[in-house]
Amino acid sequence: MIRLLALDLDDTLLGNDLTISPANLRAVQAAKACGVHIALATARGWYSTEPYYRELGLAGYAVCGSGTRVYHEGHCVQAWTVPVPAARHILRYAEQESIMVVCSYAEQNLFNRVSPAWQTPLRPDIDFLVPDLSSVLNQPPAQLYLKGEQDVQKMAAFLPEEADAFRAHTVTYRDGVPEMMIIHPEANKATGLAWVCEQLGIGVNEVMAIGDSANDISMLRWAGIGVAMGWSPTSVQQAADVTMAADDLDGVATAIRRFILTA
């Protein structure tokens, strides 16, 4: 029996218009009514996750930042971080090469610079521009984030293939622009969800996870039932137990009906 449903957001629960379809919304609500815990598991930070958390009427856990932070009702209750010396080393190179890096914390994001290609306005009280960030950083960030093909390639060439303090994870979403997350070596969606399950007394075989991207592979392999969306890359589909049809835009609803509502 499934007791916890882990849901990726972008290109999984959310459509191309960044909304939850009526069919997916009804299915998630029906799963909740059956007593299933719903945990959003996303690369997003809390502030861009919260609107969907509220829309779904959730009151439990959310795994954010690709597994680097766990929130409960909006409060960060667990985090895996990158040590300050490693973060400063990366930031010094970024500043030398004019690469925009965002250091993410539970309650704020620190920008070393704002690239002309960055189209999202900085949000008051959340996003802060700190030009000399490599020198003043004094708290370990949960994640260092950068986006753009050239910047990601430069950083990938600079970083060591193996490091004890961090790992670099690169993913490309539907917009086709590579993104890199530099995070704690043990941080991923599976690690975050395992921590949640420990708090709730839920076994791994009682978990269903649904996702579509490379950063979902860990939770799809880990969960009792891993479900890949039909447009997922081959590597993601291979990590899952089940793959939805490529034209099923409400694949989340289909999976919930199949494995929770009619099981």
Give tens-digit pLDDT for 54-108: 999 999 999 999 999 999 999 999 999 999 999 999 999 999 999 999 999 988 9
Q: Record the tokens describing residue 247, joined without a space.
A: 């034209």
Fill in the DSSP letter of residue 20.
B
Topology of domain 84-183 in CATH is: 3.30.1240
**Cα 49 from Cα 216, distance rounded (Å):** 16
Span 4-79+187-261 CATH architecture: 3-Layer(aba) Sandwich (3.40)
With a CB cutoff of 8 Å and minimum separation 6, the contacts of 57 are 29, 32
**Cα 113 from Cα 133, distance rounded (Å):** 9
Q: Which of 48-62, 131-145, 148-162, 168-182 has the lowest mean pLDDT?
A: 168-182
Element (H, E) at 110: strand 109-111
pLDDT tens for each residue of 186-239: 999 999 999 999 999 999 999 999 999 999 999 999 999 999 999 999 999 999
With a CB cutoff of 8 Å and minimum separation 6, the contacts of 4 are 36, 37, 38, 39, 193, 196, 197, 200, 202, 206, 207, 208
Task: Report yes or no: 105 and 87 within 8 Å, Cβ to Cβ.
Answer: no
Q: Where are the domains of the chain?
A: 4-79+187-261, 84-183
What pTM was computed for the model?
A: 0.92
Task: Report yes or no: 101 and 79 within 8 Å, Cβ to Cβ.
Answer: no
**Cα 111 from Cα 144, distance rounded (Å):** 10
> How many other C-beta atoms are found inside a 10 Å radius of the C-beta of residue 31?
23
